[in-house]
Each structure stands twice: as structure tokens, then as C-alpha cells.
Homo-oligomer: A and B are copies of this chain.
């Protein structure tokens, strides 16, 4: 391990599997911060590997960048999450997963009851009314699940 622990962006990309452009994008979003060389090149701390890994994992678990931002913002001064933070955060993530599973199971059961029925009557069809929370919410694309 060399004297200074500062990583250029390409190195960080190789270490995390992210693309360089994605890391720059995250910096723009405020999810990571970077020091700069005199020549304006980014230099990251080793801890940022961990921070980005956290982002990656949280993403896989279905959190949006906005939600991740919020989770990270809950930590004092951009600290990288440690085991204790992780424990706290993972609790709420677990709940999300449970909810999703429950919702899918409900759908599956409705579907089973519906096969061969073919009614497709809105208002009456259990499937159609199975899970009201996927309704509309504001503008933009309808929530892509």
C-alpha cells in the first residue's frame, strides 16, 4: 500500500464494477464526493469503494437513488456506513422485500383463481383489483415495477 490512498476515477470504477460515467453521475447527485488534483482530476478516498458498494447493494434491493441518498444523508457528515448503520438500514429494506413478496403472492393467488375465468371485467375481477397500491402517482411514467 502506497503512501497516499487517493484513487483516480478509473481505479474506483475497476474496483466497484461501476462505469466511470456512473461514478461521475453519482458525484453530481451528491452520493459521493471527490477531492481534486491541481489539474482538476478527481481523487477518491479508499472508503468510497465501500460507499459505492453500499449504493450498488441498496440498488439491487430496489431502492432508488433518491432513497439511497436519504439513507446516506441520515449518517453524520457523509460518513461511510458501518455495520451498525447497516443493521438499522437493512431493517427497513427487509420490510420492503417482505411487502413485495406478499403482494406478489396475493397476485399469484388471484391469478390462480382467475385462470379459466377469463372474465376480465374491471370492477369485478379479483386480479384487477388485487393490489390497489400500484395506482397512479403524479406525473412522469407510471411506476414501472
Contacts and interface: CB of A to CB of B under 8 A. Distances in A.
Contacts of A145: 62, 145
Tell me if A's interface is mostly helix, strand, loop or mixed: helix
B50 A120 contact: yes
B87 A121 contact: no
Interface of A: 15-17, 50, 53-54, 56-57, 59-62, 81-87, 90-91, 93-94, 97-98, 100-101, 104-105, 107-108, 111-112, 114-118, 120-122, 125, 127-128, 130-131, 134, 142, 144-145
Contacts of A134: 60
Given A61-B111, A115-B86, A53 B128 contact: yes
